[in-house]
Amino acid sequence: MLNLKNIYVRNILIDLNLTVNEGEFVLVVGENGAGKTTLFNTISGSISPSKGSIFISEKNVTNEPQYMRAQLVANVFQDPKVGTVANMSVRNNLNMAHMRGKKRKLLTQSCSKERDDFFRSKLYEIGLENRLDSLVGELSGGQRQALSVIMALLTDSKILLLDEVTAALDSENSKRVLRIIDTCIYKQKKTCLMITHNKDQINQLGNRTLILKNGKLISS
């Protein structure tokens, strides 16, 4: 469960209160500058609120830095270039996501056959099972965003934040990525928040829709 109490961030978010239950899929909508991305950055820990508290599964994480909160919160960014590393192989990108929230040991080698088998089974869902050795920069935008989604769903993080994940995709890839997200949320019972401007998505997806305006929640 995600619980935000009286969150205040530099006049962008003003005394915001929000509760999202476990397994809920919530859409976040609002005009440009309404504070949607700031809300996500506050939940993920890249922005610290000057006032208020954030609870994830009843644990107060307000003062936890982003790298520590990564164990609980997974992100998919609007731009797949941010969520992946172009100069690294698909395998190493997945390795990074696989170790999210775990202790990265000096003596454990990052590549192994077991991990490769696991990654292939996940990549099968997006048709990239034979591209483990490819550089991420060689993938198309859609493939790269689909990979970002797979990476975000690789660990058992409680919260999944999707920031306009389909904005850069064509309709076919957009449908494919949303299908993966929907299936995984249903299977893994993740709490999910998704920013969108797409009217079809607003009508089709999610348990409820939050409307943000000038940093305030005007409708839930």
Partner 1 sequence: MLTLNELIIAMEVGLIYGILALGIYFTFRTINFPDLTCDGSFVTGAAVSSVMIKSGLNPALGIFFAALAGGTAGFLTGLINIRLKVEDLLSGIIVAFMLYSINLRIMGTKPNISLVNESTIFRFDNPIIICTLIVTLILFFIAYLLSSDFGLGLRAIGQNKKFALANGINVNAMTIFGLIISNALIAMCGAIFTQYQGFCDVSQGTGCLVIGLASVIIGEKFFPKIKFIRNLEIKSRNFIEIFFALFSCVIGSIAYRIFIAIAINSDILGLKTQDLNLITGLLIIFIMSRK
Footprint of partner 1 (CB under 8 A): 44, 46, 65-68, 70-71, 74-75, 77, 82-88, 91-92, 95-97, 99-102, 104-113, 116, 133
Q: Which is nearer to partner 1, 89 or 201 (CB)?
A: 89
Q: Which is nearer to partner 1, 103 or 199 (CB)?
A: 103
Contact 3, 72 (CB under 8 A): no
Q: Which is nearer to partner 1, 88 or 167 (CB)?
A: 88
Look-up: residue for tokens 């830095």? 65
Strand order across the beta sheet in which 2-9 lies: 13-20, 2-9, 51-56, 59-60
How near is the Cβ of 134 to partner 1 at its closest, in Å? 13
Q: Which is nearer to partner 1, 85 or 211 (CB)?
A: 85
How near is the Cβ of 60 to partner 1 at its closest, in Å? 19
Joined together, the tokens standing for residue 208 give 């409820």
* Rounded Cα–Cα distance for residues 169 and 171 (Å): 6
Q: Which is nearer to partner 1, 71 or 198 (CB)?
A: 71
Q: Which is nearer to partner 1, 28 or 76 (CB)?
A: 76
Strand order across the beta sheet in which 159-163 lies: 73-76, 159-163, 191-195, 25-30, 208-213, 216-219
With a CB cutoff of 8 Å and minimum separation 6, the contacts of 12 are 35, 38, 215
How near is the Cβ of 70 to partner 1 at its closest, in Å? 4
How near is the Cβ of 216 to partner 1 at its closest, in Å? 27
How near is the Cβ of 123 to partner 1 at its closest, in Å? 15
How near is the Cβ of 141 to partner 1 at its closest, in Å? 16
DSSP 147-168: HHHHHHTSS--SEEEEESTTTT
Q: Which of 189, 188, 193 is nearest to 210 (CA)?
A: 193
Q: How many CA atoms lie within 13 A of 29 on its CB side?
A: 17
Look-up: residue for tokens 């454990």? 108
